[in-house]
Amino acid sequence: MQPDIHIHIHNHHEGRSIMCDQLERIFSLLNKISMNQQELADQLTALADQLTALKEQSEKANAEIAAKLQTLENAIVEAGNVTPAVENALADHLSSVQKTDDFVPDAPAAPAADATAETAQV
């Protein structure tokens, strides 16, 4: 948290000068900005924590769905002669999962060790 800014102006003239009032107003606004930035930072941190939790839940759900679909696909293959309706239903589910996967961007790939070594040599 940012420290509060305090100003003490000693005016050697009678009464307060306009400049003193303006300076105090400026410092008061700076303190508010500092506090607002801290509040915003706290809110952004909380939001990042929520997004991380949501991502973890989503990844877990996607893994469970993929495992169930793989089990279903294996059972269909083992059954052998299935109707087109069963094949179409499986294809629809696999397509739906793929659309969800396509919607969520993949993590960037780590650079290959060879590419890093080539870059270092140049």
Global pTM reads 0.48
Please give the torsion angle defined by the CA atoms of residues 110, 113, 117 and 119, in that order, rounded to the nearest 10 degrees: -30
**Between 113 and 71, where is the model more confident?**
71
* pLDDT value for 49: 93
For 66-112, write each residue's pLDDT tens digit: 888 888 888 888 888 888 888 888 888 888 877 877 776 666 776 76
Q: Name, in order, each residue with C-beta under 8 angstroms of 94's C-beta and a sequence gap of 6 or more.
A: 69, 73
Flag whether pLDDT at 46 surpasses 90.
yes
Q: Cβ-count burial of 89 within 10 angstroms (0-12 exposed, 13-18 middle, 19+ buried)? A: middle
Examine the pLDDT at 114 and tell me if it is beyond 60: no
**CA-to-CA distance for 63 and 55, rounded, in angstroms?**
12
The residue ranges of DSSP E strands in the chain, in sequence order, are none
